[in-house]
Amino acid sequence: MRSKEGFASVLGHDLFYRQFGEPTVGEVLGLHGGPGATHDYLVPLADLAAHGYRVTLYDQLGCGRSQLPKDPSLFVPEHYVEELEAFRKEMKLGRPHLIGSSWGGMLAIAYALKYQKNLKTMTTVGGLHSVPLTASEMQRMKKTLPANVQRTMEMYETAGEYDAPEYQEAVMVFYRKFLCRLDPWPAEVAYSLSHISKPVYGTMNGPNEFTITGNIRYWDVTERLSDIHAPTLVLGGRYDEVSPLVAKEIHSHIKGSELTIFPNSSHVAFWEERAAFMKRYLRFLAKHPR
């Protein structure tokens, strides 16, 4: 699908963006995961353009084609919330339908806690409200992997050798079960994973998805979720690395929210069950017209 792309000046830095379609029905603003990934793996959201939505995707600060700042202290949730608000204004998106994947879902929640008046709706896809709960669930999932894979992980994690080829192979076993179950992976998913910004990911998350040692490791807004009143849709996959338990927790704390767990998906249901995902999301969007 044809897209418009460019750079937006946001809080003193240049952010790369892409837009699909025209906003005859509404605006959809997508937030990628990581933290530190790129917008590319979210391109299935461009399917919404055929239904009258303009879809805007962007690379967050330090990610993809966006500017990498010299100051790593900017790599915190609070900055990305303000960046999102400034980007919304700069791009003149009005009150968009905000949808965030993974860390992007966490960012959407953080944004809603401060700026929900500027949203039409909020949707999380494999999003999270509690890093400790999410990390605990991931450790449980690790224990379902083959014994030899677990032994390899334990050996290299104890040694702190996260870049060892054998360890990376073991990590990929986890990813192919709980991150994306398609074989082969879509090129955009592979691209985003292989182009994760190490400065951002390392600072905020850690060496991999289930070893969270960065500055978000204690982030937990469970007690504040009830403050969110924007129409909310919580989506996830049966095999999601951000487990269905996390999705159910978000749903239970946000009054009036809707929940759907896709039965054949892990972390990227918009790829793994693309048609069903779009049908579900469009049904939700239709309830909240311009």
Catalytically active residues are 102, 240, 267
Handedness of CA 212, 217, 221, 222 (dihedral sign): positive
For tokens 């054949």, the residue is 264
Residues 6+ apart with CB under 8 A from 246: 127, 128, 129, 130, 133, 134, 137, 236
d(CA 85, CA 37): 19
DSSP state of 173: H
The Cβ-side half-sphere exposure at 212, using a 13 Å CA radius, reads 23
Count, residues in the chain: 290
The angle, 0 to 180 degrees and rounded to 10, between the axes of the packed helices 165-178 and 131-142 is 100
Strands (DSSP E) contained in the chain are 4-10, 13-20, 26-31, 53-58, 97-101, 121-125, 232-237, 258-262
